[in-house]
Amino acid sequence: MPNGPMHLFIPGPTNVPDAVRRAMNVPMQDHRAPDFPELTLPLFADLKKVFANETGRVFMYPSSGTGAWEAAISNTLNRGDRVLMSRFGQFSQLWASMAQRLGLDVICVDREWGEGVPLEDYARHLAEDKTIKGVFACHNETATGVTSDIAGVRRVMDAAGSDALLFVDAVSSLGSIPFEQQAWGVDLAVTGSQKGLMLPPGMSMLGVSAKALEAHKSSTMPRCYFSFEDMLRTNDLGYFPYTPPTPMLHGLRCSLDLLFDEGLLRVFQRHHRLAEGVRRGVGALGLSLCALDPQWYSDTVTAIRTPEGVDAAEVCRIGFHRYRSSFGGGLSKVAGTVFRIGHLGDLNEVMCLAALASAEMSLADAGAKVELGAGVAAAQDYYRGATAALEADPGSSEGGAR
């Protein structure tokens, strides 16, 4: 039998803290009981704090984030509505495919995988076409390690005088990097339980603005399981229109408490610090990122291009079988040329150093000409300086929430 744990360095599902796992180990309870709202109503209120959504609502669905994608569309738009989307990675591509399959008229801007939401193209389309009802953006493209400027999307929408709804995929960003739903004018924000919220997969959360709730009243798209009407009717009383995943609600209570105890700003700073160490380690190995420019760098996942002739899938296979380390593989267009290190959720500096050490060995075994220890040393040097600065001035914004 192998010793020690399997090390999880994928960008989701992320590591579930022991405290959260213990919190989910509860006897089954009556989800229609009079005391059930004592658990659920504070969860709705605290999720609104994480979304930074004061005047809207947050819905919780027993589904992956894909379910909340569908809920956002089907509850606010109508078949044939024209929407503006962009594709620059696997998940932005999948959301565009869903919109087309649900009957929307999709204007889709394709960009190189490694870029983010193209603000100039969005500005041009919005200026030329006043019939656009929805604008979609993937905040953090998990497949390529790219973070986009959502506040910038809102700026170009406002500059064009657009009254469209703004839809944002925040699955691998919420609770890990800065996200301001209300300040950025995001109408529908999608996330999942298995990323920054540090829970198992199986729950999605949808932040909905007051404007989107109003748009819902004129939406005629078919829906049932994801209906806002059913949620509104039952959530206000602390219940759900169907059986909720009760143990996960207890886990969510614990994970939110952990985030608030650390402080969301410090959570964002920690993620930036960990990500920067990984990026410096990758650079010291002479490797490049899938993200094409520093403006796109993600603080939750680093997608690494393997050298010419080195199969990224083989790097992942070696890491798993020889070194008990799971890395994220390249998806779709970047399959075989990219592997990914996730650095979000319940994570610290030494865990990131372990990821780099395992990645170095796996790369070397797969035929890459890398200097063993170079990436780890570069990350160690950065972490030592960053953590010393943080100890010297605990109130500083070291690591910078971008």
Helix (H) or strand (E) holding 60: strand 57-61
Which one is predicted more confidently, 2 or 168?
168
CATH code (residue 123): 3.40.640.10
Domain range for residue 127? 19-260
What mean pLDDT comes out for the span 274-297?
Answer: 98
Q: What is the residue-averaged pLDDT of the chain? A: 96
Same domain, yes or no: 169 and 77: yes
Q: What is the pLDDT of residues 69-82, one digit of tens each?
A: 999 999 999 999 99
Rounded to the nearest 5 percent, the helix, strand and coil shares of the chain are: 45, 15, 40
pLDDT band at 398 (very low <50, low <70, confident <90, very high): very low
Residue 294 CA to residue 240 CA, distance in Å, equals 43
Residue that has been written with the tokens 């969301």 in this structure = 264
- pTM of the prediction? 0.96
Same domain, yes or no: 293 and 340: yes
- Whether residue 397 is contained in a domain is answered as no
Phi and psi torsions of 69, nearest 5°: -55, -50
**Residue-level pLDDT at 3:** 86
Same domain, yes or no: 114 and 130: yes
Last residue of a domain, one of 242, 260, 278: 260
Same domain, yes or no: 361 and 321: yes
Number of domains within the chain: 2
pLDDT higher than threshold 60 for residue 206: yes
Nearest to 112 by CA among 333, 338, 283: 333
- Whether residue 365 is contained in a domain is answered as yes
DSSP 211-250: HHHHHHTT-----STT-HHHHHHHHTTT--SS---HHHHH
- In the chain, the N- to C-terminal Cα span, in Å, equals 44
